Structures are given as structure tokens and as C-alpha cells.
Amino acid sequence: MDNNENIVNDTNTNDINTENENIVKDLVKERNDGVKLYRSYSVNGYDIKKEGTSEVYSDAIDVETADFKYTEVIPPKEDEDVKNDDNTVDNTDTI
């Protein structure tokens, strides 16, 4: 069976802003059974992390009824010092 057989339409016209304005949720497809699939991604091009988990994605596809929330994973700037858990600065790379 062809995986695309259950697809009714393919559209990116229904952008939905989530609570985090930098994460966008687009309607991707609606299957013949009426289930809508949405793609979540960062408008800034960052990876996204599913809240409450350690799962990180470049983008995520979920069914309409999924109640997942995502946050951006923003890497530290290269010129910033990295702080340890005890709030001390790790500057070993400068030695």
C-alpha cells in the first residue's frame, strides 16, 4: 500500500502560532480518515525540544489532537562563557 494513498490534501496555508511565538504549527496534510497532521518548527531555524522530555527535533509532525508543546533549543554563542551547574564559569579552553 502506498503511504500517500491516505492523503487528502497537502497545504501549508494554516499557520498557527503556539504559546511560544517563535514556534509555528502548520497544517501539513489531512488523511482520508479526517486526521490532520501538523508540523511544528522554529521560525528562527533552531531545533525544538518537546517539553517534559529530552526529545529534540529539527521539526516535528503530530496529529491535531496531540497536546505537545515545544521550545526552541538555542545554542550558546561561541564567545560566551559556559557556566557550570554551580554557576562557575568554565574557561578551560583559554588555558
pLDDT higher than threshold 50 for residue 7: no
Percent of the chain exceeding pLDDT 90 equals 56
Q: How confident is the model at residue 17 (pLDDT cuts 50, 70, 90)?
A: very low
- Which of the four pLDDT bands, split at 50, 70 and 90, describes residue 10? very low
Q: What is the grid cell recorded at 84?
A: 557550570
In whole angstroms, what is the distance from residue 46 CA to residue 81 CA? 20
Total domains in the fold of the chain: 1
* Residues in the chain, overall count: 95
pTM (two decimals): 0.62
Check: CB of residue 27 under 8 Å from CB of residue 36: yes
pLDDT at res. 21: 83
Q: pLDDT at residue 91 above 90? A: no
The x, y and z cell numbers of residue 12, run together, are 501549508
SS3 call for 92: helix
Note down the domain range covering 30: 3-94
Query: pLDDT value at position 72?
Result: 95
Short-list 42, 74, 73, 44, CA closest to 60:
42
Q: Measure the CA–CA gap between 18 and 50, rounded to whole angstroms.
A: 13
Q: What is the mean pLDDT of the chain?
A: 77
Do 23 and 7 form a contact (C-beta atoms < 8 A)?
Answer: no
